[in-house]
Amino acid sequence: MTDDEGAETAAAHIVVGVDGSDSSVAALRHAARIAAAVDAPLEAVITWTAPPYVDYSPIAGWSPEADAAAVLDDAVAQAFADAPPRGLLRTVLPGLPAATLIAQSRDAEMLVLGSRGHGGFAGLLLGSVSAACAAHAHCPVLIVRAED
């Protein structure tokens, strides 16, 4: 794995799932503090999927991967303004969020997630991705509530 500067990063790193929600931005800030405290690399991960049964390639100028990368860049800007953590790795992966983050947790020291994303029912305290990752991740999971 390499960071934005092309340097090799250690396998034991902090992974944070980002979807652009307020709680994922809070999780990104919190994960950065943890990574700095334990001197571990920080990887911000966002996932994307194409709409089912749709061939999106003919739609001129639309890329779900590019949209996901833009959401990730915006979340990093919200979390850190003009000063993201040195060596922050930004990863855009195809796949369903829970399954992809669980797979990413195999080589992680910790997985950090927001308590609620954009989907589902707003009244729930814990989202489906957070719950699935807490139950099935291969490393410790920290779930962060959005800052008020």
Grade residue 113 by pLDDT with cuts at 50, 70 and 90. very high
Assess contact for 86 and 35: CB atoms under 8 A.
Answer: no
pLDDT tens digit sequence for 15-55: 999 999 999 999 999 999 999 999 999 999 999 987 766 55
Radius of gyration (Cα) for the chain, nearest Å?
A: 15
Which of 142, 144, 133, 103 is closest to 21 using CA atoms? 144
The answer, yes or no, to whether residue 123 has pLDDT greater than 80, is no
Angle, in degrees to the nearest 10, between helices 64-80 and 22-38? 60
Assess contact for 91 and 44: CB atoms under 8 A.
Answer: yes
Tokens, residue 114: 């927001």
- The DSSP 8-state label assigned to residue 92 in this structure reads E
Which domains does the chain show, CATH number per domain? 13-50+57-144 (3.40.50.620)
Assess contact for 34 and 14: CB atoms under 8 A.
Answer: yes
pTM, two decimals, is 0.83
CA distance 104 to 137: 9
Between the ranges 31-35, 81-85, 119-123, where is the mean pLDDT highest? Answer: 31-35
The answer, yes or no, to whether residue 124 has pLDDT greater than 50, is no
Mean pLDDT of 76-86: 94
